[in-house]
Chain A
Amino acid sequence: EAGVAQSPRYKIIEKRQSVAFWCNPISGHATLYWYQQILGQGPKLLIQFQNNGVVDDSQLPKDRFSAERLKGVDSTLKIQPAKLEDSAVYLCASTRISGQGADIQYFGAGTRLSVL
């Protein structure tokens, strides 16, 4: 079973520029999560999708962050414009929708963003 795929692995941009991250979850996983992980901290949930609908985006800074999952499979997270404090690893995770172990989140390797 292929894991969660994320790209790019690394991105360096200047503040006020735009950036986009891509995630392809495990096949058949209906729920997809985007997390922000700042160095030395645990992952912080940005947005949760179930299929192509948003379940929770309460911690997404909507003035600059946006995310979509148009066909209920892969997803894109965008930052526009980026700020210095957005430097972090952006993790994507997915889970099954039901069954034993449905709450186990499987993570991709993350995209490490540096904003200069």
Chain B
Amino acid sequence: QKEVEQDPGPLSVPEGAIVSLNCTYSNSAFQYFMWYRQYSRKGPELLMYTYSSGNKEDGRFTAQVDKSSKYISLFIRDSQPSDSATYLCAMVGSRQFYFGTGTSLTVIP
């Protein structure tokens, strides 16, 4: 079983839609959870960072962590064409860093 599982998509939505991206994990030692956004031909850039269960909101983005279910989500409200990218979840535990495989998102104008 992989440490982190992420649906690769691709996901295609119309502009203005609510997008839900998800990852599951198996290691209960993970303490910190991150979402990175990666545009084509660019390195990943940090979008959201959280270390506790619950929701964290930043503008149109909400990160949700459920440690009891070992499940994290990223919600994007009012999606824009500029949100078209690959979204990577990442987790840290015992100073080890694990990435999901990434979900490719396209927002159609």
CB distance from B78 to the nearest CB of A (A): 26
**In the complex, A105→B38 CA distance in Å?**
13
| Docked complex Cα distance between A3 and B101 (Å) | 24
Q: Is the CB of A103 within 8 A of B92?
A: yes
Which residues from B are CB-within-8-Å of A25?
none
Q: Flag whether B34 is at the interface (Cβ < 8 A).
A: yes
Annotate A36-69 by CB proximity to B: 1 below 8 A, 0 otherwise: 0000111111000000000110000000000000
Known: A42-B88, A104-B34. A109 touches B97 (CB 8 A): no
Q: Count chain A CB atoms within 10 A of each CB in B6, B32, B43 and give the residue with the most.
A: B43
Any A CB within 8 A of the CB of B17: no
Q: Which residues of A contact B41 (CB under 8 A)?
A: 109, 112
* Chain B residue at minimum C-beta to C-beta distance from A56: B96
The size of the chain A interface, using a CB distance under 8 A, is: 23
B42/A109 in contact, CB under 8 A: yes
Which secondary structure dominates where chain B touches chain A? Answer: strand
Residue of A nearest to B91 (CB): A103
| Contact between B6 and A42, CB atoms less than 8 A apart | yes
B contact residues, total (Cβ < 8 Å): 22
Closest to A108 in B: B43
CA of A33 to CA of B92, assembled, Å: 14
Q: Are A43 and B46 closer than 8 Å at their CB atoms?
A: no
**Given the complex of chains A and B, what is the CA–CA distance between A103 and B31 in angstroms?**
10
With A41-B102, A42-B6, A42-B102 known as contacts, the answer to whether A103 contacts B42 (CB < 8 A) is no
A107 touching B97, Cβ below 8 Å: no
B60-109 interface with A by 8 A CB criterion: 88, 90, 92, 95-97, 99-102
> Is the pair B8, A40 in contact by a Cβ cutoff of 8 Å?
yes
**Please, how many angstroms separate the alpha-carbon atoms of A105 and B90 in the complex?**
10
Chain A: residues with CB nearer than 8 A to chain B?
4, 6, 33, 40-45, 55-56, 91, 93, 101, 103-110, 112
